[in-house]
Structure 1
Amino acid sequence: MTAIHVMLWFDTEDYITHEAEDALLGLLTMLNSRKIKGIFKIVGEKARKLERNTRADILKQLMPHEIGYHTNFHSLHPTVSEYSEKFGFAEGAQEFEWREREGLDDVTRITGMTSKCYGQPGYSWAPQSFPALRKWGIPVYLDVHDQITLDNKPFWYGGMLNLTDIKGIMRMELTKNGLQEGIREFDRMYDMLMQENGGFISIYYHPCEFACTGFWDGVNYNHGQNTPRDQWQPAPLRQAGEMEAYIEMLGSFLDYTLSKPNVAYITSEEALHMEKSNRTALEASDVRALAAATSHDLTYQVYNGYSLSASDLHSLFCKYLLGEDLVPELIYGPEHEVESDRSVNVDVSAIIKAISVEYPRVLAYKQLPDYFTVAGFRINPVDLTCTLASIISKELNDVDRVEMIAGALKPKMHARTDECWGPKWSPFPQDLKVPNLVRQSQLQTWTLKPAIF
């Protein structure tokens, strides 16, 4: 039985250097000769460039592979992080959809395939992208990023399966000794994962790096620079024959990986289908057990095959008290973190009335309000959810009095707090700081939970 699942993905982005197209074709030809499926995350402008250059040969070779989306213009300023920093969560989701939808539509139209995954350009991540991607039907976030981490394992965040900070991320470097070093690294990861009864290895490249010694955006978009289209410069090229040699070297590396027992290459869609979290309705007894396990520390729970985020639990507790079907529902985190009024003691009926209101929306999806109004008092969603759990576990009635519990959203610890992103990616302005994105990434850990494989 296959135990090691390898995802091989290519950020297909250089829409300036012509030789990057030859590298893309060479990689596709090499993969197709081995019947290995790759994952090609394509920039909108790159797809349009292939269309303008009538590269039907490349588009035909792409057909057996999985397509992902990689934004409309990649490094053109303002990048995703730069423009998203200026917006709240709901407005930022609308802005992402407005700026990036054109590229997705063009990738779909030109390749004839729908995108199954998304990954950010470089380090240019933003929590506001998730509702838009989910609305577009993109279920998987596949890339390398460490703003949200969960023990180096796959996780759910923002309603998407995230394969961004897993233990098995690697690559064979395109250097003289790259093959030998890549084999040693693969063997190390293989042995480690086999001891853990299997897992994922994520291998990533850019087609352009097989043709070039530097990156196209480093030439045209470095440190906030926006080179006009009529002044774009290609990336520096490798010497004659190097591109072909490195593509052949990658082929040899892939051959080696497949010589190991229990290894298979999969797509992000196949990884999604392997995820086994239960999504059916729970019994009332299950919700009571979940409530009993919730104290003043509100966090995700893995229970009887269910993986439930804090917002899933909030939805279940509300549905239990409102007499609705007990199906977990993802609700996005609030726009702001506010303090609750303190020393609040009210009837349970007042709390039930408070949770009966219409929730705000992010695009088409529910979002938690910054606070609920309970008998005239402001109560934040964390405190309210912890109090709901107490009401359910104690089996209180409408007329019973309850004191609001002061809670804490524990999954926030899985969001990094470093707001200085300028040095993390060369196209960023070197002094770029993103305190708003960091704050919002913490608030959206309401949606964080482990993936179950």
Structure 2
Amino acid sequence: MANIKVLFWFDVEDYVTPESMDAFRGLIDLCDSRGIPGIFKIVGEKARMLVELDRQDIIEKLRNHEVGYHTDFHSVHPTISEYLEHMGFKDGAEQFDRVEYGGLKDVERITGMPIECYGQPGGSWAPQQFPAIRKWGVPVYLDNHEQVKLNSRPYWYGGLLNFMELTGFMRMELVEDGLETAKREFDDIYEKLSSEPVGFVSIVYHPNEFSTPRFWDDVNFARGKNPPRSEWQPASPLWPPGAMEAYLATLGEFLDYMLSKENVTFITSVEARELERSDKGELAEAQVRQLAEGLAGDLYFTQLGDFTLSASDTHSLFCNYLLGRPLSPELIYGPETDTASSGSPVVTVRELKQAIAAPYPDVFGFKMLPDTFKAGEALVNPVDLTCTMAKVIRDGLTDDDEVAIVRGCLRSQQHASDDDFWGKGWIIFPEDFRVPNIVRMSKLQTWTLKPALF
């Protein structure tokens, strides 16, 4: 029988249309009336508007729910993808931290709640976000985006537990036959997830949808427009009187329908994270040797007993094995660039050990893989080096033995999309907006990609 966990989340972002505040309050009341937790991802400026408009009622009622972060200004240009497209991984992470951290602290201060999850504004995703979010102590990425996908299941990427592009992603549309259509869709998802130990349903709304049919940022920032604040306009037209209450009531009927099903519960991102069961302890030497036996030139994530291991976990385990360190996997971010190995095709094991013992670059104190390792007369990229370490372990080679550099590939890159034309995907982007740099870096950061276990 299905064990269905529903993540019911809201992107709380419209800080231009005053009526969206009442919809925000209405959605909190809707959750309260059924005793279910809502996950409210709040934009920094929206939180500041709660204070400006003296909506202490909303702030107080949020204490029964979970608070997440949804950037400081959401759709004001340059958006995240726009300002990070021209930056590297480390400097992009540092820029994201500088631009967005103040908003997170405002949401935290105003609500009096810890920030438990994060999600990007609209289609504005970038891999450089992840080290900064991890630095902030936010462990879950909850949203929807097609750039990195893993079999429609939750996954680890960038050091965060990601609930993205799930089989169970759905919503009841606010249209005449929305309720019956949503019931059928939920039944289909319920059946699809029936064999899962835990099946996740991810449902998203924006409070502003319940006050107006048009999005606030479409009005002001569509296709790269960036008017001064004095010219920002609220979304219009508003729904006619009584429509917001009717939509909330219909959504309540859908919640009741889901709750009527066996083994369906609504949970927060904190509770979802607690269900993730990947082992975080040490491996035995025999397990590391088993891992090396299974690796030739194809570097990918894997499951070994209760462990799921990313390519960077595997790299760290091989390093620890060869250097006589505790065999605990360690997340290491991917390199800045994809650089071919060069120089001598053969190194000694001693030279290999010296290369991996040298300090790694870092971002916010989190280790990154260098573009290449210097081993004797060779410059070896991280993929080839990891595959070569596997051969050393497999063959039981010692310090004075020579080993030929094993050429490999990072197969986990296949889970990152090649499509860099994002202008078509979110109305806020300029129509011709492309992100080849973000796509390239998203693939390099699949060093950190692995399935989550529940």
- Deviation string 1:65-114 (CA, Å, 9 cap, x unpaired) is 11000000000000000001010000000000000001000000000001
Q: How far has the Cα of 1:195 moved from its partner?
A: 3.8
Q: TM (normalized to structure 2)? A: 0.99
1:188 aligned residue: 188
Partner of 2:426: 425
Q: Assess if the C-alpha contact under 8 Å between 2:424 and 2:431 holds in 1.
A: yes
Q: Which residue is equivalent to 2:403?
A: 402
- Aligned residue number for residue 202 of structure 1: 202
Query: Partner residue of 2:365?
Result: 364
- Whether the aligned pair in 1 keeps the contact of 2:6 and 2:266 (CA below 8 Å) is yes
Confirm or deny: 8 A CA contact 1:2 1:264 kept in the other structure. no
Partners of 2:2 and 2:197 within 8 A in 1: no
8 Å CA contact retained: 1:212, 1:238: yes
- CA distance in 2 between counterparts of 1:30 and 1:162 reads 26
Contact 2:47 2:106 in 1 (8 A): yes
Displacement of 1:165: 1.2
Query: 1:94 matched to which residue of 2?
Result: 94
C-alpha distance in structure 1 between counterparts of 2:128 and 2:268, whole Å: 25
TM-score (norm 1): 0.99
Say which SS state the counterpart of residue 63 (structure 1) adopts.
helix
**Does the alignment pair 1:301 with 2:277?**
no
Task: Map 1:127-142; keep pairs closer than 5 Å.
Answer: 127-142=127-142
Structure 1 gap segments, 5+ residues each: none
Counterpart-to-counterpart distance in 1, 2:301 and 2:144: 23
One-letter amino acid of the counterpart of residue 171, structure 2: R
Does structure 2 retain, via aligned residues, the 8 Å contact 1:209–1:215? yes
Aligned partner of 2:328 in structure 1 is 327
Query: Take 2:433 and 2:391, find their aligned partners in 1: how far apart are those partners?
Result: 43
2:240 equivalent to 1:239: yes
Post-superposition Cα deviations, 1:209-230, rounded to whole Å, max 9, x if no partner, equal 0101110000011101112111
State the alpha-carbon separation in 1 of the partners of residues 197 and 105 from structure 2.
Answer: 40
Q: Cα distance, 1:423 vs. partner?
A: 1.0
SS across alignment from 2:333 = coil
Deviation at 1:354, TM superposition (A): 0.8
What residue identity is the alignment partner of 1:46?
Answer: K
Q: Following TM superposition, where does structure 1 have runs of at least 4 consecutive aligned residues deviating by more than 4 angstroms?
A: none
Residue 108 (str. 1) matches residue 113 (str. 2): no
What code does the residue aligned with 2:304 have? Answer: Y
Residues in 2 aligned to 1:420 and 1:327: alpha-carbon distance in whole angstroms: 39
Query: What is the match of residue 168 of structure 1?
Result: 168
Match of 1:45 in 2: 45
Give the 5 Å matches for 1:383-398.
Answer: 383-398=384-399
- Counterpart amino acid of residue 443 in structure 1: L
Structure 2 letter corresponding to 1:93: A
**Are the equivalent residues in 1 in contact too, given 2:344–2:378 (CA < 8 A)?**
no
The answer on whether the counterparts of 1:67 and 1:115 sit within 8 Å (CA) in structure 2 is yes
* Aligned 8 A contact 1:155 1:449 in 2: yes
How many residues are aligned here? Answer: 453
Which one-letter code corresponds to 2:189 in the other structure?
M
Partner Cα distance (2:10, 2:425) in 1? 20
| SS of structure 2 residue aligned to 1:355 | helix
Q: What does residue 62 of structure 1 align with?
A: 62
Over residues 161-210 of structure 1, what are the superposed CA-to-partner deviations in whole Å (9 max), with x where a residue is unaligned? Answer: 01011110000000111111111111111111114454000011000001
Q: Report the residue type matching 1:97 in the other structure.
A: D
Alpha-carbon distance in structure 2 between the residues aligned to 1:342 and 1:241: 73
Of 127-136 and 347-356, the range deviating more from structure 2 = 347-356
Compute the displacement of 1:376 (Å): 2.2
Identical positions, percent: 54
Counterpart CA distance in 2 for 1:404 and 1:198 is 42
Cα RMSD for the two superposed structures: 1.0
Deviation of 1:116 (Å): 0.6
Evaluate the alpha carbon distance shift between residue 16 and residue 115 of structure 1 in structure 2; reply closer, same or farther with a 3 A threshold.
Answer: same
**2:319 corresponds to 1:311:** no
